[in-house]
Amino acid sequence: MLAIIGGSGLSSLDSFEQVQEKAIKTPYARARVRVNLFTLGDTQFAFLPRHGKKHAIPPHKVNYRANIWALSSIGVKQIVAINAVGGIHDKLGPGSFAVPDQLIDYSFGRDGTFFETGLNQVTHIDFSHPYTETLRQQLLHAVNHVNKQAKIQRALMDGGVYACTQGPRLETAAEIQRLQRDGCAMVGMTGMPEAALARELDIAYACLALSVNWAAGLAEELISLDEIHRVLAQGMDFVLAVLEQVVKESASA
Ligand code: HPA
């Protein structure tokens, strides 16, 4: 089954038909993880809002392990993650999309592995290519398909390095210059450890990133939260159309 992890701006999927809400007990949290099951035609898919239903869990407090474990426990084998980002690459201005192909993790102190206790042997995963290429291609295909039918085309970057910062504060201008020197194209706060945890449980994982602002120091003006919310809200119809297409294509794959 395919799951969608919704980020900022996507806490519910009102345009789809919800069939069930599951409250899943995990070894990683006292509270159950609530996963919504939806259908589109004959295809069932899962939806999990990363920041909670009320968008109240900040990036560094998200229980990534509980979320990924819960999805795996109901048979999820593919995850499409939606992430709002700040644009660093000059092609990633507000309102444009990217499907990154690499990441650098600058976050810290997050519970980032399932392979911690109760092991027979120290366990490592190969993470050379953090995003699953086949799923990345499906996502790119879906964006291009929606773009062809949309009134206003959205710029799309195929690839790029996603920088995951700790948050919840935004970065300093100097930090963004450093990320630029590191080769990062975009910066967000929620890409990790989500991607690594999915790999540990053998779940294919790809990210659809929506740029909602120029990263710190790259625009004349300071970053405005009102403006971020406006760009997010404007991008969500497009995101929903892409998700519908991804679900349709996953059914026929
Ligand atoms: N930095 C980090 N995370 C973000 C940003 C940003 O500029 N915009 C949206 N998420």
**By alpha-carbon position, which residue is closest to atom 7 of ligand 1?**
86
Our mutation pick for probing the ligand 1 site, out of 85, 107, 186, counting the most ligand atoms within 8 A of Cβ, is: 85
3.40.50.1580, 3.30.420.40, 3.90.1720.10, 1.10.645.10: which CATH number matches 2-116+127-252? 3.40.50.1580
At residue 95, the pLDDT reads 96
C-alpha 131: how far from chain center: 11
Residue 86, ligand 1, Cβ within 6 A:
yes
Q: Is 204 left (phi over 0), alpha (psi -120 to 50) or beta?
A: beta
At residue 150, the pLDDT reads 85
Express each pLDDT in 177-221 by its tens digit: 999 999 999 999 999 999 999 999 999 999 999 999 999 999 999
Residue 92, ligand 1, Cβ within 6 A:
no
**How far, in Å, CA of 201 to CA of 196, rounded?**
9
**How far, in Å, CA of 219 to CA of 157, rounded?**
20
Residue 138, ligand 1, Cβ within 6 A:
no
Q: Do 76 and 186 meet the contact criterion of CB atoms below 8 Å apart?
A: no
**Entry pTM:** 0.95
Domain boundaries, the chain: 2-116+127-252
pLDDT band, residue 166 (cuts 50/70/90) = very high
Residue 231, ligand 1, Cβ within 6 A:
no
Residue 79, ligand 1, Cβ within 6 A:
no
Residue 84, ligand 1, Cβ within 6 A:
yes
Residue 253 has pLDDT above 70, yes or no: no
Residue 120 has pLDDT above 90, yes or no: no
Token representation of residue 143:
């964006």
The phi, psi pair for 46, rounded to 5°, reads -110, 150
Express each pLDDT in 29-84 by its tens digit: 999 999 999 999 889 999 999 988 777 899 999 999 999 999 999 999 999 999 99
Mean pLDDT across the chain? 94
Nearest to 58 by CA among 190, 186, 163, 165: 190
Instruction: Locate the ligand 1 atom nearest the alpha carbon of residue 223 and give its number.
Output: 7
At residue 86, the pLDDT reads 98
Token representation of residue 242:
């892409």
The SS3 of residue 1 is coil
pLDDT band, residue 123 (cuts 50/70/90) = confident
Helices 133-149 & 225-252 angle (0-180, nearest 10): 110
Residue 85, ligand 1, Cβ within 6 A:
yes
CA of 99 to the centre of ligand 1 (A): 16
